[in-house]
Amino acid sequence: MTKTIVMALGGNAILSDDPTAEAQQEALRKTVAHIIPLIKKDFRLVITHGNGPQVGNLLLQQAAGDSESNPALPLDTCVAMTQGSIGYWLEQALRNELMKHDIKNEVATLVTQVVVDEHDKAFCTPTKPIGPFYTKEEADGLSAQEESHYVEDAGRGWRKVVASPKPMDIVGHSVISQLLHHDVIVIAGGGGGVPVNHYPLRGLEAVIDKDFASEKLAELIEADIFIVLTGVANVAIGYGTDNQKELETVTIKELENYKKAGEFAPGSMLPKVEAVIDFVTSGPDKKAMITSLEKLADFTVDGVGTTVIP
């Protein structure tokens, strides 16, 4: 039976130091070249992606142009806009690469709404980094001007943080299942999806972590494998120390123990680890992997990078 894979791309894999549209499109052209070997193996594929840098930059543009006649758009709408722009670039790059390799699969990009609880405690405690990095002094100044929260992010600088509620449901996930049944490659859940309230659907001011949203989607469409792509080939314990050890095949129990020991940084590797734990425990015969784009060439159903098994 053909296996279904949900593969999550990070927003920072799309945006380089150059934030122009041309640079991001070039980054995506390089990205899809790494995905082609997987498509040639005839898996059914859903591609999700982050948008943290992009939505943060769009919010800055909205604020800069805000006026009575041209008011800034809310955060949920900015999430939808970056889903559309990144999805457009990604689909275009993928179609061009498929034609180059004479692969006949169709591609569809869906602007995806994700149901969250409007009473989620995350709305009281912003944690999701978005936008560019600042120095401590710059962040303090912006925080005072905007009444926003800024935190240090992975040793790279200070970033604005917004609410990041947990996903409860994916609107229209059955449509994605139908497309996969017809061998359509689906791009969905961009930026963690647009956060919406349960019926009646209504946008909320938040950015959902793309790894948690991707995991929820993988559950709902009954995917077999969940791949989280990041900047390193393997998850490591003792990261950045003389005792650093890269993990290869690892069980849920082992990962849980490492998590309790504080081995994974919040806002960086921790949500990825938590997402793969959730997926592998969601049903029988589930498997998850955390690795880099470059390692996809070595992919087999037995695993690549850090492979998580029950």
Catalytic residue among 10, 52, 128, 189: 128
Catalytic residue among 57, 87, 160, 210: 210
Here the tokens at position 179 are: 């497309």
Look up residue 262 and give its amino acid: G
* Contact criterion met (CB below 8 Å) for 276 and 308: yes
Here the tokens at position 216 are: 């929820």
Look up residue 212 and give its amino acid: F
* Contact criterion met (CB below 8 Å) for 144 and 136: no
Angstrom distance (rounded) from CA 301 to CA 48: 19
Catalytic residue among 160, 216, 272, 287: 272
Residue the block writes with tokens 């959902």: 208
Q: Is 288 left (phi over 0), alpha (psi -120 to 50) or beta?
A: beta
| Distances from the Cα of 157 to the Cα of 136, 153, 267, angstroms | 7, 6, 13
Is 303 annotated as catalytic? no
Catalytic residue among 3, 12, 157, 166: 12
Is 70 annotated as catalytic? no
Catalytic residue among 10, 11, 52, 189: 11
- Look at residue 227 and give its three-state secondary structure: strand
Among 307, 304, 293, CA closest to 47: 293
Residue 44 CB partners (closer than 8 Å, separation 6+):
2, 3, 4, 5, 180, 183
Here the tokens at position 206 are: 């938040």
The helix (run of H) or strand (run of E) holding residue 74 is none
Angstrom distance (rounded) from CA 162 to CA 56: 10
Length of the chain: 310
Is 12 annotated as catalytic? yes
* Contact criterion met (CB below 8 Å) for 112 and 193: yes
Residues with active-site annotation: 11-12, 128, 210, 272
